[in-house]
Amino acid sequence: MTGKSRRPSRAVYPGSFDPITNGHLDIIERGLKVFDEVVIAILRNPEKDPLFTVEERVAIIQETYRRQPRVKVDTFSGLLVDYAVKVKATVIVRGLRAISDFEFEFQMALMNRRLNPKIETVFMMPAESYSYLSSRLVKEVFALGAPVRDLVPPAAHRRLQEKAP
C-alpha cells in the first residue's frame, strides 16, 4: 500500500431503459463489483416513440437506487463517448444476453473505440434467467395483460400499472 488515494473508477451504463428491467439491475449489480460508480445514462432519442418519458425513466431509476449512492442516473444526447469523457468515465458497460446481441454490440463497441480509443467497452453477461428479458418484451406482454411483477423493479411496475388503460 502506497497510501496514495486513487480516483474512483466510474463506468457509464447507457441505454433506453424504457423501462429498466431486472436484467438491467443484474448488469448494474455486476458493474458495482468491478467499478466504484456506475452512471446509468438514458439516451434522449427524439426518433423513438417511448412508453415512458425520459423524466419518468429517470424517476423510476432514482427510486430504485435511492439507497445505493454508487449508482447515479443521468441523461445524454449526442455521442456516447463524448458523454463518457464529460462525466470522467473510462468504461462503457453493456449487457450481452445472447449471440443475437453480439453483432450490434460489436459494431457499437468498435465504432466507439474508433471515436475515442481511451474509452473501453466492457460486456457483462446477465444471469441466465434474464437472458430472454428486454424492455420491449416487458411492454408487449404487459400491454396484453400478462403479469410482469417479477421482471421489473417495483418502481417500474407501479408506473406501468399507472399507464394501463
Of 5 and 47, which has the nearer Cβ to ligand PNS? 47
Contact 151, 62 (CB under 8 A): no
Of 68 and 77, which has the nearer Cβ to ligand PNS? 77
Contact 96, 125 (CB under 8 A): yes
- Of the candidates 135, 139, 157, 159, the residue annotated as catalytic is 135
**Least distance to ligand PNS, CB of residue 159, Å:** 18
Contact 160, 142 (CB under 8 A): yes
**Least distance to ligand PNS, CB of residue 45, Å:** 7
Binding site for ligand PNS (CB under 6 A): 14-16, 43, 79-80, 108, 111-112
Of 47 and 67, which has the nearer Cβ to ligand PNS? 47
Residue 111 CA to residue 57 CA, distance in Å, equals: 27
- Of the candidates 48, 67, 114, 118, the residue annotated as catalytic is 48
Q: Mark whether 24 is an active-site residue.
A: yes
Residue 21 CA to residue 13 CA, distance in Å, equals: 14
Residue 117 CA to residue 122 CA, distance in Å, equals: 13
**Catalytic positions:** 24, 48, 97, 135
